[in-house]
Each structure stands twice: as C-alpha cells, then as structure tokens.
Amino acid sequence: YLRGYKGNFSFEEIGLDYTDGVPYVSMRLYSGLCGILVIPIAYYIIKGLKFSRYSAILGALFVLFENALATQSRLILLDSQLILFAAYTLLSWVNFIANSEKPWTKLWWFWLASTGVGLGLTFSVKWVGLFIIGTIGLATIKDLWNILGNTDNSMYQVIKHFMARALCLIVVPISMYIFFFRIHLAILVNKGTGHGFMSAEFQADFNDSKPQPTYYDVAYNSKVYIRHVNTNGGFLHSHDHTYPTGSQQQQITLYGYADTNSEWLIIPQRDAENYRMGQNLKDGDTVRLEHVSTGRRLHSHDHRPPMSEEDYQNEVSGYGGPGVVDPQDNWIVEIEKGKNAESREYVKSYDTIFRLRHKNSGCYLYSHSVSLPEWGFKQQEVTCGTEVLRKNTLWRIEMNTNSQFVPKKLSFLEKLIELNKVMFTVNSELTGSHPFESRPPEWPFLNRGISFWGAPDGQTGSIYLLGNPFIWYLGTVSILLYLVYFFFFEMVKQSKTGLPKRTRKALIRFSYPGGLLFTAWALHYFPFYLMGRQLYLHHYLPSLYFSILMTAIIIDSIFLNRFRQPTTKILIVAIFAVIAIYYFKRFSPLTYGTDMKQTKCESLKFKDTWDLDCNKYN
C-alpha cells in the first residue's frame, strides 16, 4: 500500500508477468530485510541467555546459511515476517528476564512492553503467532510462580507484577491486533476477489458495492438469494447442467457470488390453504423454491449424492417446472433463531436463520466444504441429510428484491468479528491434497521440500524449498538431546548422588534457556498435528529457527564450555561453520534458482522423497 499497490494483480499463478504498478521489488526487498534481521537477533538471543559470544556467532551463522530460511525470505511470503516478529518477541522476553532483578525500572518496563509489541506484531501477521503467545504465556506463568514463591514479596507486590504483565502481554497485543484491522478495513474500501465470502451487510460498505433494494419482510412470490450460514460456499445455486450420476437431473450447488443463477422464487405448496400473494413467510410454512433462470424446482429424492454417498444423505436436484406438481418439491421452513421477536416468528432478510426440512423424507437441506469435480465447476456440494451437523443446515436470505430495504451498517467490531470468522473458516477448509504437501512427523527429518518455481521450456533452473541438511538435522538432534538432559536432570535432582560442582553448575545454567527454547519449538510444532488442513514444510520454519538456537547453546554447553583457550573455541566454531557453508553452497542452486548440471541435481537427492525435477537442467 505504501508503495502504491492498488491490488490489481492477483498472484494466482507462479510464473505470470507482473503488470505495471505492482511494486514487486519493494515487496521482495521487505521480505529479504526481514530475513536478514533474524540473523543478528539470533546472536543477541543467545547472548541474552548468558551463553558465550562464540556460540552466539555460530547460531547466527547457522541462521545465515540455512537454505530454507534463505529461500522463503527471498520471495513475497509472510513467513519471513512471522519468524522475524517471533524472534523479536523472544529476544524482548529474554532481555526482560535479564532485567527482572531490577523490577519497575525504565529498562524493565521497556522490555516487558517490547515483548507485548512483538506478540501483537507476530499474531497480526499470521494466526500461527498464537504459538509464540503460548510460549511467552507459559514463561510468564513460571515467572509469576517464582515471584509468588518468594517470601520477600508481599501480596500487593505480586498483584502489581501480575497487572503489569496483563497490561503489556494481553492488552497491548490485543489492541495492536484490533488497530491493524482498523487500518486494513480503512484502506480496503472496494471489492476484491474474496468479497463473496462476506455478508451483504459487510459488502454494503464497499465504495463499488451497489446492493439491490431488499425487502425486509419475505413473502410468497419474493425472489430471493439464499446464503449458507456456516461455510463460505456462498449462495444456493443452480444452472442448466445435470449430474452425471444418480438421477441425472439438474445440479444444485453453492456458488460464492449472487449471480442470476442464484435467484429463487418462493411459491406455496400446491394444496396450501389460506394462501394469498404477498403473504409473509412464517415458521412452519411449507414452500416450493423455483429456480428463476431455468424454472426448475428445488427437489430431493432417494438417490445418493455424487460426492456424499452415505445412506443418510439424499441427492438435491432441480426438477419439474411450471405446471408440474411433485410432492418431492415441498420444503418446511423451520426458524432456528432471529435477532428479534418478529424475526423469530416470520422470515426476515438478514435477521432470520432457518432450516429447510424436506416434507416427504424429513431430511434437511445441507451443504459442507466438499467441492464437486470439474463437471460441477468446482462448486460446493448440496445434499439433503438426516444425520448431519446441524450448523451445516442453516440458511438465511440476503437479497429479496421485491421492495426497499437497505442492509444495516455494520460497526467496526461487527466487521472485525465477521472477518475473523471467515478467515478461520476459509483456512480450515484448505483440506484438499497438493503434490508437495507434507505432514508434521516428516518435518524434523526433512523428508521432502516444496517446488516453488520451475523454469519455462527452453530455460533451466528451479527454486525448491529444502533446508540445509547439516543444520536441519543438528537442530533435530539438539531437541532430542534436550529431552535426554531434561530427564537426566530431573533424576539427578531427586537422587542423593552428588555431581561435580562444575557439572551441576552447567546443568543449572542450561535449565531455563533450554526449557524456553524447547517450549518455543514444541508449541510451534505439535499443534500442527491437530490440523486437518493442507500443510507444507514451510510451516516448520519457526520451529527450525528455535531448534537452531538450541543447537548453538548445546554446542556451547558440550564443547565450548570445556575449553578456556579462545583459539580452541574459534576452531570448534569454524569446523561447524565450514560444514554448514559447504552444504549451503551445495544446495544453493535450489535456493536461488541458478543453473547446474543435471548430474549435480541428481547427486543432491539424499533421500528418495526429495522430488527434485532434475529434468529442468542440462
């Protein structure tokens, strides 16, 4: 935005030529700058944890020569920002703890507030920032527990410490998150590619939005657009194409935009009594829905849907038309909830959430985040189900073109809540397969990478996200060594057997830094096991960063701490650094997309699962 980007390039496909006005150089420069800054931050985190400058230099060098970190920081991606702000947050916390012996000083307040700012920045980039919030949250609980256990502190002092942390670590991040959305909504004043996910009330505030006049009271003979409430599939939709399976009748789907094929006419059942044109629709009414464009009726029968083949799911299709009477076209309106008493008795645009129960079979009109194949234009499946999630059977009317009703203006808070709900839903619906997706158990062992770019025909080169195997595996080994240390240290504390004073001192010195970095690594790694969405190797990069820091302090504890001579320490650091640089250089063609021989590419396949496309090289 600051460089004048107008949102006129969609970034939909790799390899497209940028159009005029896309500041891609500035965007890549910013990502690269974020990638650069995490290097000195690694140094200062290790120094702040009271380890030697030799291990701090080694940790910074490991970050510098890690191929995956270099690759993602060269491209227009969010991960470099995420890692930068997470690293900055950890650095601020480490410096805050270093000043904890002198509470309430300016420096103490500065680093505490700085930690809160880091939390707000990280969470505002990606929701994965919740993991660094969890890390600092656990560290804060431990810190407060120590303060509470110190008999020199009065309860008043304990409460003061708690309130200071609540202000800086809760209020500040939340305020920043809300502030950034305030800016976001103030800047994005026109419709974009994702506007179809938002409600009509939300869209009504866009400058280029021209909502059709909408009648609040929904009556028979109204032409309406019916939106699915729980998913982002959009509006109940049909088109002049048939199912290739089942009844082979006209398709019924969800479509993200309110076009003419999403318009339905509400008509009464054939034998309706006391019906008159314009009568308001109320709870319990039996209706038929006629597709305006094709004249077909919303219909269900005992055929299995094309994607959901369970016995409790029936196909929903478009069938019949004017002059055709079919009892399978009848649906009973059941109001689920309304915003006021009137909208809980009568169906109202926007304000009434309702279900449609098929009169003959008792199933409910239902949709879920399952897309039809190409023959269904990748639109979302609609079925009629009996044993289905209730929340996926909820609908509401968003456009009713019979009269004059302007959607109410949403407050900023209402927009914030709706947008975050949509973000969560869209993210959770990324459940499809991808050729380069991977799962969390594979990440610590670098089982496969991600192909970011391949040169077009007639050219050579590719960009493949793959870590420096030496640094990557050292990080994994370091995490395992910490676990060995943790259980060993716990056994030593409980045993009566004494340890050499120097060994015990080293174990105690390693306890807090090791625990902090392991917590950061674990909280950025294990939550992905609970996610059903598409996942990739780049989701592991924050954990990789913390494992690199762990590697540096373990090398310090095991090797550097044993020697007094600086030359010996420099030699140890140099050995590790040279090996890291060797592997970085070897894999650099994949990082930078430069040319190499096909034979060299083949030699880089340390694992069969590293699916490099060596045909891109001569």
| Each residue's pLDDT tens digit, 215-243 | 678 888 889 999 999 888 689 999 999 99
Predicted local distance difference test score (pLDDT) of residue 161: 97
Q: What's the confidence (pLDDT) of residue 168?
A: 98
Do the beta carbons of residue 109 and residue 63 sit within 8 Å? no
- pLDDT of 404 reads 37
Structure tokens at 271: 């034998």
Name every residue whose Cβ is closer than 8 Å to that of residue 77 and which is 6 or more positions away in sequence. 31, 538
- Cα 372 to Cα 255, 323, 382, 505: the distances in Å are 11, 31, 10, 63
**Which ranges constitute the DSSP H helices of 204-310?**
none
Instruction: Kindly give, in sequence order, each residue whose CB lies less than 8 Å from that of residue 525, ignoring residues fewer than 6 positions away.
Output: 440, 443, 444, 540, 543
What residue spans of 49-129 are helical by DSSP H?
53-64, 67-73, 79-98, 106-125
Q: What's the rounded Cα separation, in Å, for the pair 370 and 59?
A: 45
Query: What is the pLDDT at residue 399?
Result: 83
Whole-angstrom Cα Rg for the chain: 30
Could you say which DSSP state residue 235 is in? Answer: E
pTM of the model: 0.79
Amino acid at 391: K
State the pLDDT at residue 493.
66
DSSP state of 429: T
- Per-residue pLDDT at 407: 55
Angle at 205 between CA 203 and CA 207, to 5 degrees: 100
Q: Which of 103, 142, 97 is nearest to 115 (CA)?
A: 97
Domains, the chain, in order of start with CATH, read 212-405 (2.80.10.50), 437-617 (no CATH)
**CA geometry: angle at 176 spanning 172 and 182, to 5°?**
145
Backbone dihedral angles phi then psi of residue 227, each to the nearest 5 degrees: -100, 140
> Which helix (H) or strand (E) is 513 found in, with range?
helix 501-523
Alpha helices (runs of H) in 99-237, residue ranges in sequence order:
106-125, 130-149, 155-166, 172-187, 200-203
Which residues of the chain register pLDDT less than 50? 403-405
Query: What's the full length of the chain, in residues?
Result: 618
